[in-house]
């Protein structure tokens, strides 16, 4: 049995209210997009009050090359990943030397050696630790990392796995991309880091924590253009289709019921939903597809409101809030996210 023992989160220092972001968008995109007032309501209807970034607002007022952006990515991904991981281990009462495997998830920058190698040194993790860096999964990466940790514990029940996810979406902002798509991305995405410690029955820790029961993955064919990056000389250009809410409405119920059926369960068995909120329209699409009352998505909306879309990190923030807010014992929860591929990753939990 694999269990989620503890969580930890970290935020960069610059808190930006959505009103400031909207004013920036008007000044930056306004001279280049006809009828800018037609598009600015996306900031008001984003479900976001404020977001956090590693760079101050004035950094976005001039173009920055990819090399400098990636240097900042390595610096801040290491700093925030270290902070989240340290907090997670302290919350568990586990020493760094007890960790057997580190999984690092990110898609907003590149590093070789990967960030997990840097965390091994900063945290003083064991020299013989297993390392698994995961890149390119975007918003689905946090869920996929948890499933990877669950699978590892199934093979090695005495292991302790530290999952660390860091996304610095703000650093991918392309100053010269004056498209409506970039305007919308500027209204949603943010920076953050989260860590989760997953352990098995043989770890010597108290037998508490969320039990991870099973993982599920679904990749829809011929959907490569739904979400991802375009790689340009000056950086990473975000790709996300307007069709994502429609995809959720069309496929989410079938995908999740198929997963549950493999364990002789139906949707009525689920008490809690930990869903990555791509934005308010995506949350609404899940509400309709799964017939969820408002109270089932309140926590999801809270994290989106307070932090924006941090890509892979967001669902781990939701997991952290869920654990800290408390829950009824013996219930089932579904953690799920969507990302490039176009892919869904889901993890069934028992409280």
Question: Cβ(245)–Cβ(308) under 8 Å?
Answer: no
Which pLDDT band holds residue 204 (cuts at 50, 70, 90)? Answer: low
Share of the chain above pLDDT 90, in %: 85
The pLDDT tens digits for 83-95 are: 999 999 999 999 9
Query: How do beta strands 50-53 and 14-17 pair?
Result: antiparallel
Q: Which tens digit of pLDDT belongs to each residue from 278-310?
A: 889 999 999 999 999 999 999 999 999 999 999
For the cut 70, the answer to whether the pLDDT of residue 80 exceeds it is: yes
Average pLDDT on 74-85 reads: 98
Q: Among the CATH numbers 3.20.20.80, 3.40.47.10, 3.40.720.10, 3.40.190.10, which is that of 210-350?
A: 3.40.47.10
- How high is the pLDDT of residue 207? 66
Given a contact cutoff of 8 angstroms between Cβ atoms, the answer to whether 195 and 85 are in contact is yes
- In this structure, of 142-156, 213-227, 297-311, the range with the lowest mean pLDDT score is 213-227
Helix (H, G, I), strand (E, B) or coil at 142: helix
Q: Residue 106 and residue 93: Cα distance in Å, rounded?
A: 26
Exactly one of 54, 88, 139, 169 is catalytic; which is it? 139
Q: Nearest Cα to 109, choosing from 77, 139, 141?
A: 77
Q: Does 139 participate in catalysis according to the annotation?
A: yes
Rounded Cα distance between 251 and 249, Å, is: 6
Q: Give the C-alpha separation, 270 to 38, whole Å.
A: 40
Q: What is the mean pLDDT of the chain?
A: 94
* Domain range summary for the chain, segments of one domain joined by +: 2-203, 210-350
Q: Is the pLDDT of residue 262 over 70?
A: yes
pLDDT at 239: 82
Return phi, psi of residue 210, to 5°: -65, 130
CATH topology of domain 2-203: Peroxisomal Thiolase; Chain A, domain 1 (3.40.47)
Given a contact cutoff of 8 angstroms between Cβ atoms, the answer to whether 39 and 183 are in contact is: yes
């Amino acid at each position: 049995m694999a269990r989620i023992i503890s969580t930890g989160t970290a935020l960069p220092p610059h808190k930006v209210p959505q009103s400031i972001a909207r004013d920036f968008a008007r000044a930056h995109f306004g001279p280049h997009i006809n009828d800018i007032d037609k598009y600015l309501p996306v900031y008001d209807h984003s479900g976001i009050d404020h977001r956090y970034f590693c760079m101050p607002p004035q950094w976005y007022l001039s173009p920055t090359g990819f090399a400098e952006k990636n240097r900042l990515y390595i610096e801040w991904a290491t700093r925030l990943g270290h902070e989240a991981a340290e907090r997670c281990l302290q919350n568990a009462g586990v020493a760094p030397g007890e960790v057997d495997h580190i999984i690092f998830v990110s898609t907003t920058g590149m590093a070789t050696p990967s960030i997990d190698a840097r965390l091994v040194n900063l945290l003083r993790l064991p020299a013989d630790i297993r390392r698994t860096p995961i890149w390119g999964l975007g918003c689905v990466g946090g869920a996929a990392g948890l499933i990877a940790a669950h699978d590892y514990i199934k093979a090695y029940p005495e292991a302790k796995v530290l999952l660390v996810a860091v996304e610095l979406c703000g650093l991918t902002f392309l100053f010269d991309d004056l498209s409506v798509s970039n305007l919308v991305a500027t209204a949603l995405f943010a920076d953050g880091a989260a860590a989760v410690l997953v352990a098995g029955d043989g770890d010597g820790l108290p037998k508490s924590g969320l039990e991870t029961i099973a993982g599920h993955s679904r990749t829809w064919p011929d959907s490569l253009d739904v979400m991802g990056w375009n790689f340009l000389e000056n950086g990473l250009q975000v790709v996300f289709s307007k069709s994502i809410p429609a995809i959720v409405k069309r496929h989410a119920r079938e995908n999740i019921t198929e997963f549950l059926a493999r364990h002789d369960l139906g949707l009525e068995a689920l008490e809690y939903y930990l869903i990555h909120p791509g934005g308010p329209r995506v949350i609404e699409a899940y509400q309709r597809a799964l017939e969820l009352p408002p109270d089932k998505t309140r926590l999801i909306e809270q994290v989106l409101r307070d932090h924006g879309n941090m890509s892979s990190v967001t669902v781990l923030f939701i997991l952290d809030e869920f654990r800290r807010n408390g829950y009824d014992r013996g219930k089932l929860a579904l953690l799920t996210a969507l990302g490039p591929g176009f892919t869904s990753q889901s993890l069934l939990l028992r409280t």
